[in-house]
Amino acid sequence: MKKTLMSLIGSLCILIALAVYQYVVFHDGKLHVVVCDVGQGDGIYIRSPDGSDILVDSGPDSAILSCLSRHMPFWDRVIDIAIITNADLDHYGGFIEVLKNYAVKEFVTTDIGKNDKMFDNLIKEVVLRRISTRVMWSDDILRDKKIQLVSLWPTQESLSLVNSQPVKGRAVLGSRTVNSLNPYSLVLALTYGSFDVLLTGDIQPPATDELALRIGGGEIEVLKVPHHGSKNGLTKKLLEVTSPELAIISAGRKNKFGHPAQQTLQLLKDFSVPLLRTDQRGDIEVVSDGKTWIVRP
């Protein structure tokens, strides 16, 4: 009995020390962008300098939870904004688990959803929890006090050109669907001071080149390579207009699609862009104070 009591008192002391340590570490006033190792999929956790939590995609399953627990304080169970760039399972599957473990304040996506049971399950959970939802098109802006998150793609015009079908009974998270979702993937530019990150979802050519045209010019620091480094993602034009200082590929170890493709790796090599891959390195965390940035070892 005495031993158990001593263990519990010891545990309480360690818990307090841990809380103090995590408070100091996680409230450093910097922007943290973590490309999570979620296997074959995308899951990007953003902790803004003022402490709000944004999750861009969630990978295919519960692997995202391990990433969040590694990069959030243990008592923080609130995600301020959850964004789905693409209604494919490898981008939204983990949100069903996230909803069971975190309170999500708002869901953001394009108006293009998917007509399948798993996606319906996610919507059911979102509606059940009365989470507010928002449709985002190009040029829409999400921001908090210090960072700015601007949508660059898709444009409403791009969708009006294709034959999209309404999804019966669907009011939120994509009331319409198209045969191929990738060209309408949500692309986001994250800015903090002079530090820029481009999150490209699964966008694929020719939409990638149209996106490059819209961007026009200006250098970025970090590029999340589209579509897990598939040959149908990154283009020369996008690299020319963005001139990234670092490229990150989110792909699963020994994935069945062979991502990243040799052509993509060669393209990045040709442009001398340093590359980090989640299948080789696990979570990749980039930290910026708005002027400088580092990749956390």
Partner 1 sequence: MNKPVVILMCAGLIAILALRFWSTYHKTSNYTNGQTVSFVTTITTTARVSGNFQKITVHPDPSTAIFITLPRDIELDYRKTVRISGTSLRSVLSNKKTILTMYLPKVEAVKRSNNLSDRLIQIPLIASRFVRTQVGLVFAKALPSDLASLLLGIVLGVKGNMSSGFSQALSRAGVTHVIAASGMNVVIVGGFLVSFFTIFFKRQPSLVFAIAGIVFYAFLAGMEPSIIRASIMGILVLASQIIGRQYLASYGLILAVYSMLFVQPVLIADIGFQLSVTATAGLLYIKPLLDRFMPKIPYLGEDLTTTLSAQVATLPILLTTFGSYSLGSILANLLVLWTVPILMAIGAAAAALTFFFQPLAVLVTYLSLPFLMYFERVVYVLSGLPALHIDSLPFISIVGYYLFVIALVVGFQKKPE
**Interacting residues toward partner 1 by CB under 8 A:** 4, 7-8, 10-12, 14-15, 18, 60-63, 65-66, 68-70, 74, 77, 89, 93, 97, 100-101, 117-118, 121
Q: For residues 69 and 156, which CB has a smaller minimum distance to partner 1 in the complex?
A: 69
Residues linked to residue 165 through DSSP beta bridges, in sequence order:
177
Q: For residues 91 and 188, which CB has a smaller minimum distance to partner 1 in the complex?
A: 91
- Give the H/E segment covering residue 92: helix 89-92
Q: For residues 94 and 244, which CB has a smaller minimum distance to partner 1 in the complex?
A: 94
Q: Which of 141, 138, 162, 140 is nearest to 152 (CA)?
A: 138
- What lies within 8 Å, CB to CB, of 160 at 6+ separation is none
Give the dihedral sign, CA 93/258/183/114: negative
Cβ 165 to partner 1, closest distance in Å?
24
Q: For residues 56 and 68, which CB has a smaller minimum distance to partner 1 in the complex?
A: 68
Check if the beta carbon of residue 72 is closer than 8 Å to that of residue 26.
Answer: yes
Most distant pair of Cα atoms in the chain: their distance: 73
C-alpha R_g of the chain: 20
Cβ 92 to partner 1, closest distance in Å?
11
Q: For residues 62 and 164, which CB has a smaller minimum distance to partner 1 in the complex?
A: 62
